[in-house]
Amino acid sequence: MNPLIEAYVNHVGRIRVVHSLPGRLRVNVGGVKQYPEAAAKFADLFRERLLKLPGVTSAELCLVTGNLLLRYDSEKTCEAVIRAWLETSWQAFLRFLKGLGDVSGPDEPGVAAAVARFVDTL
């Protein structure tokens, strides 16, 4: 496995709620703070996908803290639905990364394209 991918997968954790109010959810995404360069490559893809969830109105990822701030319409969705999607999607993404195998640096554009296709399936 690519050393960067292996390090990232081995150090990521679960999605952990930091703070929650109706219509606003802040979660910590394990691995983002530790590997901000890797997370930055795919942050926009996940942000765009999150904004497609019913009721989600904004999504902001802080690479410094690893926190994701989501705002949502509490009449269209709820924290439990968003958390379930985040957990399921994050675990699926980690399985996807593990499945990439031994991808080297020159294959990075191919990896980015594969990740983009994968995120669209979430």
| Number of domains comprising the chain | 1
Distance between CA atoms of residues 36 and 93, nearest Å: 16
Each residue's pLDDT, cut to its tens digit, for the chain (122 residues) gives 555 556 556 656 678 999 999 999 999 988 888 888 878 888 888 899 999 999 999 999 999 999 999 999 999 999 999 999 998 888 887 778 777 765 555 566 777 777 778 777 77
Domain that holds residue 110: 3-121
Q: Which whole-number Å values give the CA distances from 79 to 27, 75, 109, in the listed order? A: 11, 11, 35
Domain of residue 89, CATH code: 3.30.70.100
Contacts of 112 (CB under 8 A, 6+ apart): 41, 42
Distance between CA atoms of residues 111 and 100, nearest Å: 8
- Whether residue 49 contacts residue 22, with contact meaning beta carbons closer than 8 Å, is answered with no
- What pLDDT is attached to residue 59? 97
